[in-house]
Amino acid sequence: MKKRLFTVIPLVILGIIMMASTTVAQELLFDNAWDFSENLARVEVSKQVGYINKTGKYIISPSFTRESIFYAPAYDFHDGRARFISGDMHGFIDKKGAPVILANLQDAWDFSEGLARFESADEIGFIDVSGNVVIPAVYDDAEPFSGGLAAVQTGDLIGFVDKKGAVVVPPAYEETGNFSEGLAAVNVKDRWGYIDAKGTMVIPPAYNDAEAFSEGLAAVEIGRNWGYIDKTGTLVIPATFKDPGPFSGGLAAVECGDGNGYIDKTGTFVIPPTFKYADTFKEGLAAVRQGEKWGYIDKTGTFVIEPRFDHANEFAGGMAAVQIGDKWGFIDKTGKTLMAK
How far is 141 from 46, CA to CA, in rounded Å? 35
Model confidence at 270: pLDDT above 80: yes
Global pTM value: 0.89
pLDDT average, residue stretch 42-51: 97
Cβ burial, residue 22 (10 Å; 0-12/13-18/19+) = exposed
- Predicted pLDDT at 339: 78
pLDDT digits (tens, 9 = 90+) for 153-184: 999 999 999 999 999 999 999 999 999 999 99
- Predicted pLDDT at 147: 97
- Predicted pLDDT at 340: 65
Model confidence at 335: pLDDT above 50: yes
- Predicted pLDDT at 27: 72
Model confidence at 19: pLDDT above 80: no
Contact between 126 and 134 (Cβ < 8 Å): yes
How far is 158 from 163, CA to CA, in rounded Å? 16
Contact between 55 and 337 (Cβ < 8 Å): no
**Mean pLDDT for all residues in the chain:** 92
State the maximum Cα–Cα separation within the chain, in Å, rounded to a whole number: 83
Q: Out of 10-24, 212-226, 287-301, 312-326, which region has the weakest mean confidence (pLDDT)?
A: 10-24
How far is 304 from 295, CA to CA, in rounded Å? 8
How far is 319 from 313, CA to CA, in rounded Å? 9
228-240 in b/e burial notation, b at 16+ Cβ within 10 A? bbebeeeeebebe
Share of the chain above pLDDT 90, in %: 89
How far is 80 from 253, CA to CA, in rounded Å? 31
Q: Which helix (H) or strand (E) holds 6?
A: helix 2-27
- Predicted pLDDT at 13: 36
Q: Which amino acid is at 92?
A: F
